[in-house]
Chains A and B, each alone.
Chain A
Amino acid sequence: MRYEELDELLRESLQEERAEARALLEGMERSVTVELASRPSAKPAWRRWWGILRRPPLAMRSAVAAGIVLALVVGFLAGRMWGPGGLGLERTAGTMFAVAAPQADSVAVMGDFSAWEPVHLEDRVGDGVWTAVIELPPGRYEYAFLVDGRWVGQDPVADEYVRSFGEYASVRYVEGD
């Protein structure tokens, strides 16, 4: 068969298929229109929302109630801590304590701010740098680190060092606003 003859045959075939499909689609469009016309009209969006607000489902009512309680509790605690006549805590940014101790199993900082009780540092990203952020009101604080139980009194970022009982301790001054 020659190329021109094959091309002609393909064109005819495609035209026949297109004509059949068009007839089918026209029939479908008409039946869908009739079907939709026979259904009752849907409610507008505002009416659907009004219905939900008038009679909310149980889960939504509980969620709203819990949200209100949460807001009240947070407001109450914040007010007690920082409000007038509260606990007298001053809001300051936290003070970072950090030690590079890649081989250590445990690192803690202790000082005037913790009545010399250890506060544990964490190596969050596993790079051997142990950190803790502690909220401190303005003042002067002596402190030292415990690296695997060993006293490390000289923090390179300290404001000064003091020596008593034969050991060094670091000092930070936390300034007010």
Chain B
Amino acid sequence: MKAKNSPVRFRIGKNGFFKGVVIAFAFSCVIPLLFILAYIIKAGITKINWNFLVNVPKPVGESGGGIANALLGSIIIIAVAAVIAIPIGILGGIYLSENRKSKLAYWARLSIDILQGVPSIVIGIVAYFWLVKPFGGFSSVSGSIALAIMMLPIVVRSTEETLKLLPDTLREAGFALGMPFHRVVLKVIVPCGISGILSGVMLSIARIAGETAPLLFTAFGNPYLSTSLTKPMQSLPLLIFNYATSPYNDWHDLAWGASCILLIFVLVLNIFTKIITRKWKVQL
């Protein structure tokens, strides 16, 4: 070892130096995040008031107006996506954890791995050809389905990982009581893993709440309030993208307020998930 020849004092000094470097680099990662959070909240919070929440955007030149259309649109699009993705995702996760060695499970697992890495813009393209072009126009439900496809791998994976960790003795206890397979799964296994499954569901919602790219060619955006699933619909990220890249200050203000709301929603959901997962954990 070369280090043997160098004086011990120098090696100790080097040790301390690199420790300092690692700590400095590690903690400096946090700085941009804090800076972004502070900036968005400072720029956005002053724009948020009752009128901001219940009005639709005003045309360029008129001040005031709000983001009610985007807020309602985001809620609808996310809710529909969740209704589609959560049952499919949980059942898919159950399938993978119950069939660890089958051929189909291998391919399904591979598919989920692939799906997890697919860029969101590609999902947008595909959703356009599956749901927009054949039905003759942009629609909020096509956006929901695009987002549901993005949620799916997270829900499937977290369900599978959670259920795999549960001891086999639990399943056996259920079967030994004469319970059919579906009841063992739904009444014993899923309730015992519910905290892990729920945290996956919540993280997936947090993830898609801010997704913009899959909505560009599907939900498309809409300057007016719309609740129709078959018509274009505005959403917070779409509004932020469109108004942030516009040259108008009034629109920038709307985008800042919308960013602030979206950011707080996403962060609260993430932090809440962490707390819930710790609290609800079933003692095995």
- Asked if A and B bind, the verdict is no
- Could you tell me which A residues sit within 8 Å of B by CB distance? none
